[in-house]
């Protein structure tokens, strides 16, 4: 089974100001950003730059319209001009202005400027079609009501991010554990988008066994992924994202009902009538002798040697394991015991 690293990569590339504490706060930010956004079209001949003071280069859309640029829109401007951004950054604003005026395209197809009052966030040709982050999150909020961010990762990472280029959201259902092939899995998914052409729009759903502090998703199963570029009819991707998340939720509900029956049976079925029988039963299932002895002692305190009490004991012991790889292996052995209750 693969380990998914997409959320971990996001964790290490995000700055603190791009990290959001909850889905509702992230959604509020994206809704506000959509409401404040402006989009307008200009002919290429109207696009230019202007040096301001000695250290600033502004974008111009006409003789009387000037805009600040962020790093992304400045990069797009340099690509339009066919000049490396690193080269422009080494020039004075006056020299950079002259270079860009000489190299910016002067064709007939209009350009789309996108941003807010006073700042341009992106520059696009007519083929680009925007999908707002708020619209993607609206689908998530509607169909993934029981999902929440994973446990907080390193550096306070929450799995919920939005920056000047894109948005990324990592959600799991911590109460959605179900049995797949005799092992316990929970559902989760990633969803991402960019309003400015920084990445595709997409979703990836999966079932997992563990998430570590680096937000690596361990032992993923039934991974489903959909991505789409921001071109014609990109809004149709919202329907596909909705369908994929709905399918995950439906499968979770079906499996959770089955898992509940397994747990009920595990609470009744015994692995032995006394401590010695329980230890032997655990050993026959590949549980190490020391681990089996501790689990039996904990279960004995609960007054029974049912499959459930022993699995619960093993799970408590597993939490003391330092290394994630060892802990995951121990969790798998514990979850396999549940299959004996079927």
Per-residue pLDDT, 217 = 95
Domains of the chain by residue range? 6-27+132-254, 38-124, 267-341
Q: At 94, is the pLDDT very low, low, confident or very high (cuts 50, 70, 90)? A: very high
**pLDDT of 5-35, one tens digit each?**
999 999 999 999 999 999 999 999 999 999 9
Q: At 319, is the pLDDT very low, low, confident or very high (cuts 50, 70, 90)? A: low
Looking at the chain, the whole-number percentage of residues with pLDDT higher than 90 is 60
- Reduced 3-state DSSP string for the chain: CCCECHHHHHHHHCCHHHECCCHHHHHHHHHHHHHHCEEEEECHHHCEEEEECCCEEEEEEECCEEEEECHHHHHHHHHHHCCCHHHHHCCCHHHHHHHHHHHCCCCCCCEEEEEECCEEEEEECCCCCCCCHHHHHHHHHHHCCCCECCCCCHHHCCCEEECCCCEEEEEECCCCCEEECCEEEEEEEEEEECCCCCCCEEEEEEEECEECCCCCEECCEEEEEEEECCCCCHHHHHHHHHHHHHHHHHHHHHHHHHHHHHHHHHCCCECCCCHHHHHHHHHHCCCCHHHHHHHHHHHHHCCCCEHHHHHHHHHHHHCCCCCHHHHHHHHHHHHHHHHHHC
pTM: predicted TM-score of the whole model, two decimal places = 0.76
Mean of the pLDDT values across residues 258-282? Answer: 77
Mean of the pLDDT values across residues 37-44? Answer: 92
Q: At 184, is the pLDDT very low, low, confident or very high (cuts 50, 70, 90)? A: confident
């Amino acid at each position: 089974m693969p380990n998914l690293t997409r959320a971990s990569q996001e964790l290490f590339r995000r700055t603190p100001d791009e990290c959001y504490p909850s889905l509702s706060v992230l959604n509020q930010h994206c809704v506000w950003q959509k409401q404040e956004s402006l989009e307008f079209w200009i002919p290429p001949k109207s696009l230019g730059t202007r040096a301001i003071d000695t250290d600033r280069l502004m974008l111009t859309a006409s003789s009387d319209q000037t805009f600040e640029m962020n790093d992304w829109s400045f990069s797009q401007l340099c690509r339009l001009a066919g000049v490396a951004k690193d080269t422009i950054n080494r020039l004075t604003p006056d020299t950079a202005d002259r270079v860009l005026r000489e190299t910016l395209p002067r064709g007939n197809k209009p350009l789309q400027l996108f941003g807010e009052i006073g700042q341009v966030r992106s520059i696009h040709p007519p083929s680009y079609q925007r999908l707002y982050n708020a619209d993607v999150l609206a689908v998530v909020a509607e169909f993934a009501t029981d999902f929440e961010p994973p446990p907080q990762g390193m550096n306070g990472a929450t799995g919920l991010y939005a920056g000047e280029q894109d948005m990324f959201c990592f959600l799991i259902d911590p109460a959605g554990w179900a049995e797949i092939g005799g092992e316990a899995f929970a559902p989760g998914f990633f969803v991402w988008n960019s309003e400015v052409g920084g990445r595709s729009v997409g979703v990836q759903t999966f079932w997992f066994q563990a998430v570590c502090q680096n937000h690596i998703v361990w032992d993923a199963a039934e991974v489903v992924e959909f991505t789409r570029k921001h071109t014609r009819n990109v809004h149709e991707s919202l329907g596909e994202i909705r369908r994929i998340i709905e399918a995950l939720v439906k499968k979770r509900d079906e499996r959770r009902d089955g898992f509940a029956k397994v747990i009920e049976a595990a609470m009744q079925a015994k692995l032995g009538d006394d401590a010695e029988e329980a230890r032997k039963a655990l050993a026959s299932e590949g549980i190490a002798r020391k681990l089996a002895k501790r689990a039996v002692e904990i279960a004995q305190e609960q007054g029974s040697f049912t499959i459930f009490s022993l699995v619960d004991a093993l799970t408590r012991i597993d939490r003391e394991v330092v290394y994630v790889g060892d802990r995951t292996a121990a969790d798998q052995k514990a979850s396999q015991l549940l299959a004996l209750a079927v």
